[in-house]
Amino acid sequence: MRADAINWGNFATEMTGYPNAPSQYQIIDFPRLYHNGACGFSFADNHVELKRWEDPRTTPRFIGGPNGIVASPGNADVAWLQDHATRPK
Task: For residue 17, tell me if it sits in a domain.
Answer: no
Q: Are 51 and 86 in contact (CB under 8 A)?
A: no
Q: How many domains does the chain have?
A: 1
Domain that holds residue 48: 22-86
pTM of the model: 0.81
Please state, in angstroms and as integers, the Cα–Cα distance from residue 49 to each residue in 2, 15, 44, 80, 84, following that order.
27, 20, 12, 11, 10
Q: What is the pLDDT of residues 55-84, one digit of tens each?
A: 999 988 766 656 578 999 999 999 999 999
Distance CA 55, CA 32 (A): 13
Task: For residue 40, tell me if it sits in a domain.
Answer: yes
Task: For residue 9, tell me if it sits in a domain.
Answer: no
Task: For residue 77, tell me if it sits in a domain.
Answer: yes
Q: What is the pLDDT of residues 34-46, one digit of tens each?
A: 778 898 888 888 9
Q: 59 has which bridge partners? A: none
Task: For residue 7, tell me if it sits in a domain.
Answer: no
